[in-house]
Structure 1
Amino acid sequence: MTQNIRIYDHEFILHASGAVFWKGKATLLISDVHLGKVSHFRKFGAAVPLKAIGANFELLDEVIAYFNPEKIIFLGDLFHAHLNTEWIYFEAWIAQIATEVILINGNHDVISPLKYEALGIEIHDELILDKCLLTHHPEPRQGYFNFCGHIHPAVKIQGSGKQSLRLPCFFKTQDQMILPAFGKFTGSYTLKRKKEDEVYALAEGMVIKI
């Protein structure tokens, strides 16, 4: 279900949900949940099952129960667009977790910061913790290791024949890791890896180093 990696002498655990647990800081990193996207699409006539709304919250509960973090840092695009009925579910979810929550602003995060502040959620454009730079967009910066999202990375695996498989993944370069989208109702973008890159695909509830 998980893979352990070390960066700057810190241990990080990659989880099959797409989350990263920073063990030494008891901190969970999650990117691109895109809450509200189901309701947004249903509003415009898309045939998305109503039960899909609960999938993201169920997965959040699952990964929190697994790691028991003291802090959750969302690396942007927590909500897909403007306020809709899913905000009510989010308020109820925040009220029942005993965890500090921080949001790094993403390009989809257009809801007023006052709404988040009322729930006790801090908002930042970026954070630097022990030489780790936490952003939404990929932002390599000399002297730091960048954890980010936005891309919704995927990897294409080619079989011995003509068959191929496309899987969401953690995409790690020398100074950056792009997290897969945590949200259940999101797309992905296939990245081409270089020889020195590390790719950890998500499949069947497992994290598999490619």
Structure 2
Amino acid sequence: MIENIQLVGQNFSLHPSGAMLWEEKQMLLISDVHLGKISHFRKYGSAVPQNAIAENFECLTRVVDHFQPEKICFLGDLFHSSLNLEWDLFENWMQDISAEVMLVVGNHDIISALKYEAVGIKIVSELILENLLLTHHPEIRENYFNLCGHLHPGFKLNGAGKQQVKLRCFYKSGEQMILPAFGEFTGNYWISPNVGDQVFVITKKEVILVY
């Protein structure tokens, strides 16, 4: 189930994958996929299942197929570090994408811009559209609403009997919306919202406003 919201007069659809569609621009926003991280962990002996690599690409395909966007904007940390076998998988994935694709560079995006440009991805340091500022790191800038990633926000839901569920979330605070990490095995920063903030947790099937 998708959650529809308005931010500074623009309409957005929050998807359980962690992606967000900007309706007016038909732009799909995705943050912190961290492709290559699973292969990196496995290379150094971590017990991460091989099929998690395929799950990242399958999830990307599902959300693109669902929205059929005209543009896709990755809000940083698309690839986790240096080139590995997942880059070849990404090149293959890009061959089936008809949308215009751009990457707002994040701190983990160390692969040469030439590699991205060769597969049709435009590289930018930030993007300003209307009165929205799209960045990787959270940034407060006067007269702009900030859409960003980087923090991998998560929220702990507490129930009776000391039960607790930990979920990824979209986190709106003031003039800023922080998207959850899209990728598998990315970790979370557990937020403590303030009065007036909004927290939209995501499960495998729905987005739920909990705060």
TM bucket by the smaller chain? over 0.9
Q: Which amino acid aligns with 1:78?
A: L
Offset at residue 174 of structure 1 (A): 2.0
Match of residue 19 from structure 2? 19
Offset at residue 140 of structure 1 (A): 1.1
Offset at residue 118 of structure 1 (A): 0.8
* Matching of residue 74 in structure 1 with residue 64 in structure 2: no
Q: Which amino acid aligns with 2:156?
A: K
Match of residue 182 from structure 1? 182
Give SS of 2:24's match: helix
Offset at residue 120 of structure 1 (A): 1.4
CA–CA separation in structure 1 for the residues paired with 2:148 and 2:18: 12
CA–CA separation in structure 2 for the residues paired with 1:52 and 1:207: 22
Offset at residue 105 of structure 1 (A): 0.5
Offset at residue 99 of structure 1 (A): 1.0
CA–CA separation in structure 1 for the residues paired with 2:56 and 2:204: 17
Offset at residue 172 of structure 1 (A): 0.3
Offset at residue 173 of structure 1 (A): 1.2
Match of residue 144 from structure 2? 144
Match of residue 90 from structure 2? 90
Change (3 A) 1:204 1:119: closer
* Matching of residue 37 in structure 1 with residue 37 in structure 2: yes
Offset at residue 107 of structure 1 (A): 0.5
Q: Which amino acid aligns with 1:26?
A: Q
Structure 2 alignment gaps of length 5 or more: none
TM-score normalised according to structure 1 size = 0.98
CA contact (8 A) 2:149 2:181 kept: yes
Question: Between the two proteins, what is the percent identity of the paired residues?
Answer: 57
Offset at residue 204 of structure 1 (A): 3.6
Give SS of 2:161's match: coil
CA contact (8 A) 2:17 2:204 kept: no
* Matching of residue 101 in structure 1 with residue 63 in structure 2: no
TM-score normalised according to structure 2 size = 0.98
CA–CA separation in structure 2 for the residues paired with 1:161 and 1:53: 36
Q: Which amino acid aligns with 1:72?
A: I
Residue deviations 1:61-102, cap 9 Å, x none?
100111000000000000000000100000000011111100
Alignment size in residue pairs: 210
Give SS of 2:138's match: coil
Match of residue 132 from structure 2? 132
TM superposition outliers: structure 1 runs of 4+ over 2 Å:
none
CA–CA separation in structure 2 for the residues paired with 1:46 and 1:184: 14
CA contact (8 A) 2:127 2:135 kept: yes
CA contact (8 A) 2:154 2:188 kept: yes
Superposition CA RMSD, Å = 0.8
Give SS of 2:207's match: strand
Offset at residue 166 of structure 1 (A): 1.3
* Matching of residue 123 in structure 1 with residue 123 in structure 2: yes
* Matching of residue 2 in structure 1 with residue 2 in structure 2: yes
Matches within 5 A, 1:47-62: 47-62=47-62
CA contact (8 A) 2:31 2:74 kept: yes
Q: Which amino acid aligns with 2:182?
A: F
Structure 1 alignment gaps of length 5 or more: none
